[in-house]
Amino acid sequence: MRDDTPDETRRVHLSRSFDEDAELYDRARPGYPPELFDDLTEVAGTGPGCRVLEVGAGTGKATLPLAERGCRITAVELGADMAAVARRNLARFEAVEIVTADFETWPLPEEPFDAVVSATAFHWIDPAVRMAKAADALRPGGALAVVATQHVAGGSEEFFVEVQDCYERFDPATPPGLRLPAAVDVDTSDHADEVARSGRFGPVDFRRYEWDLTYTTAEYLAVLRTYSGHRALSPRAREGLLECIAGLIDRRYGGQVTKRYLTELRVSRTVPARR
């Protein structure tokens, strides 16, 4: 099961859970590898003066690095509290506007954008809308840049094997014996297939980045509290799960664990629409 393929029957409900504690999200969630933004500049042209539409900006985890590189950004965020935190985080950048709206119904401005960027958010947008509307927002030859993040094997590997006992105990939806995939085994070709089916974009340029982040017990529990699947559990099950995880980290791993992330940049450029 991939981290960027939500159950379609729960997609809308889960996508709204992030706004329930925007401050925790901003504090606990990691950003993105700096080299991703270097590559984004190279393949999507997101340098000084580039006009960017960001879809699902959250609290500005990707908006800030783009603003620091001189982009002019219109960032659309569904959650009012998330958008408020993003405005605070981006307050010093006059060329950044944070819009509170859902991308699906937000009216596109007349002036097209040079790039549409969506960082760990595009999978929450209605699949029937997202490709066509992103293409409609772009100038001819403009770039769609989608960033996806996966949890993969690595770091404190034994912990992620052992912790499945906690998930199986407190989350009945957990498949028995679930294991994190190796990065090399994560197949994201479905994005290229979706791009091709749209008929609006050329081939996808994929770039991948593996990186590790070490968390204390408290830091790890904080980031888990921001995940939609954890937030969807009943309060009793969620607290039982987190207590089980905390005990495991403290008892077996000295109060800290290292998590490996796979971040993928997917860039495609618009082509003339089919007639």
- Tell me how many degrees the CA angle 164-240-160 measures, rounded to the nearest 5: 20
Which whole number is the average pLDDT over 83-88? 97
Residue 73 clears pLDDT 70, i.e. is over it: yes
Query: Which candidate, 161, 155, 206, places its Cα nearest to that of 179?
Result: 161
User: In 10 A of CB 9, how many CB atoms?
Assistant: 7
Q: What is the pLDDT of residue 274?
A: 58
Return the DSSP state at 235: H
Residue 84 clears pLDDT 80, i.e. is over it: yes
266, β-bridge pairs: 146, 206
Give the H or E element holding residue 204. Answer: none
Q: At what angle do helices 189-198 and 130-137 cross, to 10 degrees?
A: 70
Integer angstrom CA distances of residue 78 from 48, 72, 117, 121: 27, 20, 15, 11
Whether this prediction's pTM lies above 0.75 is answered by yes
Q: What is the pLDDT of residue 21?
A: 81
Residue 69: exposure state from Cβ atoms within 10 A (0-12, 13-18, ≥19): middle
Which whole number is the average pLDDT over 91-120? 97
* CA 197/CA 180 separation, integer angstroms: 29
Residue 172: exposure state from Cβ atoms within 10 A (0-12, 13-18, ≥19): exposed
pLDDT digits (tens, 9 = 90+) for 204-222: 999 999 999 999 999 999 9
100, β-bridge pairs: 77
- Taking every pair of C-alpha atoms in the chain, what is the biggest distance, in angstroms? 63
**Contact call for residues 43 and 219 (beta carbons, < 8 A):** no
Residue 1 — pLDDT band, cuts 50, 70, 90?
A: very low
Query: Which candidate, 83, 138, 84, places its Cα nearest to that of 108?
Result: 138
DSSP letters spanning 76-125: EES-HHHHHHHHHHTTT-TTEEEEES-TTTSPPPSSPEEEEEEES-GGGS
List all residues 6 or more positions away from 118 whose beta carbon is below 8 Å from its beta carbon. 54, 55, 56, 125, 134, 145, 146, 147
Residue 15 clears pLDDT 60, i.e. is over it: no
Residue 18 — pLDDT band, cuts 50, 70, 90?
A: low
Residue 81 clears pLDDT 90, i.e. is over it: yes
Q: What is the pLDDT of residue 74?
A: 98
Residue 200 clears pLDDT 80, i.e. is over it: yes
Strand ranges, E, within 153-275: 205-216, 256-269
**Contact call for residues 97 and 73 (beta carbons, < 8 A):** yes
pLDDT digits (tens, 9 = 90+) for 113-172: 999 999 999 999 999 999 999 999 999 999 999 999 999 999 999 999 999 999 999 998
Residue 34 clears pLDDT 80, i.e. is over it: yes
* CA 86/CA 58 separation, integer angstroms: 7
pLDDT digits (tens, 9 = 90+) for 229-253: 888 899 999 999 999 999 999 999 9
